[in-house]
A and B are shown apart, each in its own frame.
Chain A
Amino acid sequence: MIVAEQKPLEEIKELLGDAEKVLVLGCGTCVTVCFAGGAREAAIMASSLRMASKIDGVQRIINDMTVQRQCEWEYLDQVADEIRDADVVLSLGCGVGVQAIVERFPEAWVVPGLNTTFMGMPVEQGVWVERCAGCGDCILGLTGGICPIARCSKQLLNGPCGGSQDGKCEVDPSIDCAWQLIYDRLKSKGKLDLMLKIQPPKNWQKARHGGPRRIVREDIRLHLEEE
Chain B
Amino acid sequence: MADNEYTVGSKLERILKAGHFAVTGELGPPQSADGDVIRKKAQLLKGACDAVNITDNQTAIVRMSSIASAAILVQEGLEPIMQMTCRDRNRLAIQSDLLGAYALGIRNLLALTGDHQTFGNHPTAKNVFDMDSVQLIQMVTAMRDEKMFQCGDPIKGQEPRFFVGGAAAPFADPIDFRPYRLAKKVEAGVQFIQTQLIYDIEGFKKYMEKVRELGLHEKVYILAGVGPLKSPGMARYMRDNVPGLRVPDYIVDRMTAAGKPWAGKKKDEMTKEERKARSQAWRAEGIKICIELIQQLREIEGVAGVHIMAIEWEEAVRPIAEGAGLLPRPEV
Contact = CB atoms under 8 A, between A and B. Distances in A.
Contact of B173 (A167, A192, A198, A200): A167
A158 B134 contact: yes
Interface stretch (B37-45, B180-188, B262-270): B180-188
A161 B127 CA distance: 15
Contacts of A195: 177, 180
A164 B113 CA distance: 13
Given A164-B174, A164-B243, A198 B184 contact: yes
Interface of B: 86-87, 91, 113-116, 118, 127, 129-135, 138-139, 150, 167-169, 172-174, 177, 180-181, 183-184, 187-188, 196, 243-244
A168 B241 CA distance: 13
B183 A201 contact: no
Contacts, number: 94
Interface of A: 153-168, 170-172, 177, 179-180, 183-184, 192, 195-196, 198-202, 204
Contacts of A183: 174, 177
Contact of A160 (B116, B135, B173, B183): B173
B173 A196 contact: no
B111 to A, nearest CB: 12
A198 B244 contact: no
A156 B113 contact: yes
A180 B187 CA distance: 22
A162 B116 contact: no
A169 to B, nearest CB: 8
A200 B151 CA distance: 12
Question: Which of the listed residues B86, B138, B196, B243 has the most CB atoms from chain A within 10 Å of its own CB?
Answer: B243
A160 B171 CA distance: 12
B91 A171 contact: no
Given A160-B172, A184-B174, A198-B138, A170 B113 contact: no
B173 A158 contact: no
B243 A198 contact: no
Contacts of B131: 201
B116 A153 contact: yes
Given A161-B133, A165-B244, A180-B174, 16 more contacts: A153-B116, A154-B114, A160-B172, A161-B113, A164-B243, A170-B243, A171-B118, A177-B173, A196-B180, A196-B184, A198-B134, A198-B188, A199-B134, A200-B138, A201-B135, A201-B139
A31 B62 CA distance: 39
Contacts of B172: 160-165
B130 A162 contact: no
Nearest to B180: A196
Contacts of A201: 91, 130-131, 135, 139, 150
Q: Give the 9 A-B residue pairs with the shortest CB-CB distance, closest first.
A: A162-B169, A165-B243, A158-B134, A156-B132, A183-B174, A162-B172, A154-B129, A164-B173, A161-B113
Contacts of B187: 198
17 contacts: A154-B116, A154-B132, A156-B113, A158-B133, A159-B132, A160-B181, A162-B113, A165-B243, A168-B243, A170-B243, A177-B173, A195-B177, A198-B135, A198-B188, A201-B91, A201-B139, A204-B130
Contacts of B150: 201
Contacts of A159: 132
A158 B167 contact: no
B177 A163 contact: no
A198 to B, nearest CB: 6
B271 to A, nearest CB: 40
Contacts of B127: 154
A180 B244 CA distance: 14
Contacts of B116: 153-154, 163, 170-171
B80 to A, nearest CB: 22
Nearest to B139: A201
A196 B173 CA distance: 16
B113 A154 contact: yes
Nearest to A166: B173
B184 A162 contact: no
Nearest to A162: B169
Question: Which of the listed residues B116, B177, B180 has the most CB atoms from chain A within 10 Å of its own CB?
Answer: B177
Contact of A163 (B115, B129, B174, B181): B115
Contacts of B188: 198
A161 B111 CA distance: 13
Nearest to A148: B132
Nearest to B188: A198
Nearest to B183: A196
B58 to A, nearest CB: 14
A160 B177 contact: yes
Question: Which of the listed residues B172, B174, B188 has the most CB atoms from chain A within 10 Å of its own CB?
Answer: B174
Question: Which of the listed residues A167, A168, A170, A179 has the most CB atoms from chain B within 10 Å of its own CB?
Answer: A170
Contacts of A172: 118
A205 to B, nearest CB: 11
A162 B244 contact: yes
Nearest to A161: B113
Contacts of B174: 160, 164, 179-180, 183-184
